[in-house]
């Protein structure tokens, strides 16, 4: 099976890039299931029902979240109606779930959403939690396990790779919006520290650059805004899993505006 994963979608420019390119990319790369991180999809902060329906209509099968999952309070009523998850290590009483299970080409698949500690909201220990959760899934015979690790610190993501590389199919980093150049397949696990955002590429992490520059120059904050018009970028990882849940191939796809796609193969570790 082939899985596509798009990281943080930032506002309307990100949504429009998905509208413009995703259906074609799914056909060209024979993608069986499409995952997107939604936490910045509605003007940079959270997800509305309108934008949820919009994204699912573009060919997305399910969506993961992060520290901005609850910025739009209407999401509290969406978890039971749409294929959405939020980080599993939020407190147990938090609305929503952190695991999505489905069947793809006859194989049971589990998609997990996890959030790191550094600079993030107060959550349970992601490392001890996911080790026990993965062990439980494997005990149920689920071999295809995909993790969205939403974290600021690259060290947390890399440590997770070494903890889980023999037990999960893929670990895809999100949150920083800046893609890392380390897509690799290690011991049958697809890994990248950060997939990178889909949205405006000529500002600061998808936002207009005025407020970030003011903050760095003066120490005074402000509300981040997604520009109405900008130069855009779509970033996606596509990885192939065998029947045992091991990754056998992976590649990174980038599209700048409407220019031809750029495809980079993952490093295959012997």
| Residue 172 confidence (pLDDT) | 98
- Token pair, residue 198, equals 């889909």
Nearest Cα to Cα of residue 62 among 94, 110, 15: 110
- Domain range annotation of the chain: 2-200+230-268
- Token pair, residue 258, equals 């409407």
| Residue 252 confidence (pLDDT) | 98
End-to-end CA distance of the chain: 22
What are the average pLDDT values for consecutive 10-residue runs of the chain, which has 270 residues?
98 98 98 98 97 98 97 96 98 96 98 96 94 97 98 97 98 98 98 98 94 92 90 98 98 98 93
Which strand ranges, in their side-by-side order, compose the sheet holding 189-192? 99-104, 107-115, 144-150, 170-174, 189-192, 184-186, 267-268
Residue 87 CA to residue 157 CA, distance in Å, equals 14
Phi then psi for 199, rounded to 5 degrees? 160, -145
Residue 16 Cα distances to 11, 57, 199, angstroms: 9, 12, 8
| Residue 55 confidence (pLDDT) | 98
Catalytic site residue from 29, 43, 68, 144:
68
| Residue 228 confidence (pLDDT) | 86
Residue 50 Cα distances to 34, 42, 80, 82, 156, angstroms: 19, 9, 16, 12, 33
Q: Could you write out the three-class secondary structure of 6-59? A: EEEECHHHHHHHHHHHHHHHHHHCCCCEEEEECCCCCCCCCCCHHHHHHHHHCC
- Helices within 80-181 (DSSP H only): 126-139, 154-164
| Residue 39 confidence (pLDDT) | 96
| Residue 222 confidence (pLDDT) | 87
| Residue 223 confidence (pLDDT) | 87
| Residue 33 confidence (pLDDT) | 98
CATH architecture of 2-200+230-268: 4-Layer Sandwich (3.60)
Residue 14 CA to residue 188 CA, distance in Å, equals 31
What pTM does this model have?
Answer: 0.97
Q: Is 68 a catalytic residue?
A: yes
Q: What residues contact residue 258 under an 8 Å CB cut-off, 6+ apart?
A: 20
């Amino acid at each position: 099976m082939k899985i596509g994963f798009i990281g943080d979608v930032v506002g309307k420019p990100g949504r429009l890039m998905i509208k413009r390119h995703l259906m074609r990319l799914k056909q060209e790369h024979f993608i069986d299931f499409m995952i997107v991180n939604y936490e910045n999809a509605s003007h940079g902060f959270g997800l509305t029902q309108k934008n949820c329906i919009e994204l699912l209509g573009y060919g997305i099968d399910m969506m993961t979240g992060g520290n901005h999952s609850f910025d739009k309070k209407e999401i509290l009523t969406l978890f039971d109606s749409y294929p959405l998850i939020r980080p599993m290590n939020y407190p147990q009483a938090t609305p929503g779930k952190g695991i999505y299970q489905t069947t793809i080409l006859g194989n049971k698949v589990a998609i997990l959403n996890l959030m790191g500690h550094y600079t993030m909201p107060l959550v349970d220990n992601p490392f001890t939690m996911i080790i026990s959760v993965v062990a439980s899934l494997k005990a149920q015979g689920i071999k295809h396990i995909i993790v969205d690790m939403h974290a600021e610190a690259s060290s947390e993501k890399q440590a997770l790779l070494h903890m889980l590389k023999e037990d999960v199919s893929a670990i895809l980093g999100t949150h920083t919006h800046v893609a890392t150049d380390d897509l690799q397949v290690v011991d049958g696990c697809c890994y990248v520290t950060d997939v990178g955002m889909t949205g405006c590429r000529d500002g600061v992490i998808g936002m207009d650059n005025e407020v970030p520059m003011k903050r760095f120059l003066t120490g005074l904050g402000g509300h981040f805004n997604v520009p109405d018009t900008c130069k855009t970028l779509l970033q996606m990882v596509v990885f192939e899993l065998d029947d045992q849940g091991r990754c056998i191939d992976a590649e990174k796809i980038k599209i700048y505006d409407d220019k031809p796609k750029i495809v980079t193969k993952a490093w295959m570790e012997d």
